[in-house]
Amino acid sequence: MQDGKILFAEQDGNYVLKFVGDVRLTLCSTLDLFLENMLDNDDFKTVIIDLTETDGIDSTSLGLIAKISVKMKQHHQLRPTIVSTNEDISRILLSMGFDKVFILIRDNVEASQQLKELDVLRESEEQVRNRVVDAHRVLMDLNDNNRDTFRDLVRSLESE
């Protein structure tokens, strides 16, 4: 598996985020800050999350992706779109209840824009832990199964 990276493009408030390789905790600060800026942009309209080249993704990254849906529903009454052609990734998304809060497309979609890589943000261990806890809280709020799955992890991280 190749190390993960996140590519993006934006045009007129329409965003594309492409996750490539093994997307893990090391990118959570980068992703969270980008998402905050994207969702706070007055011109923001929608986002497509492309997971077609994602080899692996951890629960922290999934929690941050879920945060997009929560925020879009609160502020825009819209559901974002996820494109996933990898059966393993699609199975994870379905098991987490993403089909209830995202539009899931399981066929390739051709990107016509030039994507740029996000610069990796370096933060302290405490800042990263806070982002991890927040991401998992979002996942827990999606459904009871996620709440049961991540409750102990969140408690453990909060007690550190």
Is residue 19 classed exposed, middle or buried when 0-12, 13-18 and 19+ CB atoms within 10 A define those classes? Answer: buried
Give the chain's domain count: 1
92 pLDDT higher than 90: yes
pTM: 0.79
Percent of the chain with pLDDT over 90: 53
129 pLDDT higher than 70: yes
The order of strands in the sheet holding 14-23 is 103-105, 81-83, 46-57, 14-23, 5-11, 116-117
Give the per-residue pLDDT at 113.
60
**Residue 91 structural domain:** 5-159
Question: Mean per-residue pLDDT for 36-40?
Answer: 91
55 pLDDT higher than 90: yes
Interatomic CA distance for residues 100 and 131, integer angstroms: 23
Question: Mean per-residue pLDDT for 73-90?
Answer: 90
Confidence of residue 110 (pLDDT cuts 50, 70, 90): low
Contact 30, 121 (CB under 8 A): yes
Residue 10 pairs in a beta bridge with: 15
**Alpha helices per DSSP H over 41-81:** 59-76
Give the per-residue pLDDT at 98.
94
CATH at 57: 3.30.750.24
Amino acid identity, position 114:
Q
Give the per-residue pLDDT at 109.
64
Question: Which residues 6+ apart lie within 8 Å of 51 measured at CB?
Answer: 19, 57, 82, 83, 84, 86, 89, 93
Is residue 104 classed exposed, middle or buried when 0-12, 13-18 and 19+ CB atoms within 10 A define those classes? Answer: middle
- Indicate the average pLDDT of the chain: 89
